[in-house]
Structure 1
Amino acid sequence: MTPHAVIAGAGVAGLTSAVALHQNGWRVSVFDRAPVLEPLGAGLGLTPNALRALDVLGLGDAVRERGAVQETGGIRRPDGRWLARSDLAFIRARFGDPVVGLHRRDIITMLAEALPAGSLRTGVTVTSATRDGVVHTSEGELGADLVVAADGIGSRLRTALFPAHPGPVYAGYTSWRMVVPVPDYLVEATETWGRGTRFGLMHLPDGLLHLSANSVAPPRERERDERQAVLRRFGHWHAPIPELLAAVQPGQVLHHDVAELATPLPAFHSGRIVLVGDAAHAMTPNIGPACLAMEDAVTLGLLLPADRVSDLDSALAEYTALRLPRAVALARRSRRVGLAGQWTWPPAVAARNLGIRFGGLLPASVTARALDGSVDWWPPSRSPAAPSARG
């Protein structure tokens, strides 16, 4: 009989896992508590490791064709002065692919369309699951040979598996994300770093820009008009930031506190349950957590083809052995980048800026050396012996 996998959550991690397992012979059922699959969110920067993961699923070329290649990068001060600039062509030359920007709705749609009809159910919540594969949902109970916990940073399944784990903690800063049309003049993709504040620009397809704004702030602090909150913090920064923020439509600002699993889990599996994405290793958004989630999903599919279900324990132990150390290392690296952006004391900020300008203290988005160990990942069944750059 075809083994059955139940996936809790239809975000990037859950849908990528479902596609990977389906393509490796599994019958999949994906449940998401949202009433409809509305791919909310803004932009995703997909680095070469994510594109290699998508290649395994046969979706890489479609993403490359659809995505907006990020040509430049750099760091500026709020007054517009450049601290560092970079031509990002080195990423393609070094790692075989560029960084491409894509709206989250595009990747969600591609993944959902790669699943068999009827395998994705919205409006259904996975409330709990047992280690032997009994899944409880808001519609009843069912059995599974594998349960994939892709239910995000607040994962119920993770909490039940590891009740002694402290869970997610606030990283000290909050984040706003927006999408606006590209104006009729050149806009370079950059990050601007201030005192405990950062603002990023990334190109998306269809003449759109992804805007991200981070600021040190108390947790759970919300305002009735989040657009005004962003304007108050960043509306006086260098052009074109004020003009771009003025183009944001009211009600179209996503605001989330940045949280992470600062304490690593002891494992990414227990019994028939396996954790992927933020449920396994929620991290600060400085080194591509969505890309890491795609790695998880593809690795799971490659390690656990349907004909290996009788060897489930061994396969999931191998998954943990491959994924947990990498996730812990990248989460620490991402945390360090975020901490430098959180500095508010003027002398420390001045020293940081001097380090960026003269001492090579650059974030991972603009240096080849810092990208080694993150975007140079290859799927476990593939060899990086002869990567070929794509045109």
Structure 2
Amino acid sequence: MNKTIDFTIPTAAYIHIPFCKRRCFYCDFPIFVVGNKSRGENSHTISQYVEILCQEITNSPIFQQPLQTIFFGGGTPSLLSPQQLADILKTLEKRFEISSQVEISMEIDPGTFDLSHLKSYANLGVNRVSLGVQSFQEELLKKAGRSHTLTDIFTAIELIHEVVIPEFSLDLISGLPHQTLSQWQHSLNQAISAKPTHISIYDLTIEPGTVFNRYYQPGDEPLPSDESTVTMYKTAQKILTNAGYEHYEISNYAQKGHQCQHNRVYWENRSYYGFGMGSTSYIAGKRFTRPRKTQEYYQWVENGGIIDCQITSLEDRLLETLMLGLRLAEGVNLSNLIEQFGDDQVLKIKTCLQPYIDKNWVEIMNDKLRLTDPEGFIFSNVMLSKLFLTVSSQ
């Protein structure tokens, strides 16, 4: 980390757009299903949300630093009309100012935009898109409850290249029900063929309350075995790094110079704004979470947006710094840890991790504590659980 930067002052904003054509079977995010035809200015539901979202932004406190990154997540932000996106960006600019070098990311789903929409998004300043492909097998898309088809995927990729979006990220999921290693290899190779500058690989997690949670238990068929998911992780690491992608974070790969700057804010445990239903802000060591249900969020904004904040203790901040920072290939800076938390804490951390250093899951090199790739990343949860017990018992 650069010590000249005050990481307590937010320069990043996450904007939650909760609307989806349907809810995917693995999704537990705060979303609102609008179906296949309702989108943009043709949807009163979306228009109302954008109006209230802008009201929240306008009423929010400011810290006199222009935004360096903006991330539209969801949900499916590509269900917004260009005018709705413009309204949100204008509100952000008026309230905070936006850097001339800003990274503006937008999650987009195949089958939810056309050439006109994508050109308009780019003209408004969107310079990074994240395409939610998830799989290149039609049958797996159906089993995951995705609303798009394989044809939609290839059309979306063509449109992104036609518009020439500077930063193009593509998302895939491993460990889906019935997914085989050969299917996973095929998806990886198809992703590379799409020529994105960035690829995100997520291992399926069965979350409470999801459709998958009703039908599947982790480790049971038709989900791949733990051994198979480890093989899929190692396969992704080998194929993508051989194709020239840097494995810079547990789940993320990028061509040189194309890392996601917004997500680095999270991994470096820096402050950020969050706006919209269910979103969280993290400012000066305090977390502010908004209601996860639409009408409750609307009422909350109307009432002035008073938030019950959770103050992060020094112990929690240490755990968060470790849990987030160790996701990065570069790891965490030991000198910074000592400066923030003291020599004794860092010595306890080293002692706790010594068995894993012996296993070559952890390295200490050039004043950095980092997990090895792929073994350290694969067994990260084991080590983080041990760190949690060590820090929490003090």
Q: Shared fold by TM > 0.5?
A: no
More strand by share: 1
Q: TM-score, normalised by structure 2?
A: 0.30
Which has the higher relative contact order, 1 or 2, with Cα contacts under 8 A spaced 6 or more apart?
1
Q: TM-score, normalised by structure 1?
A: 0.30
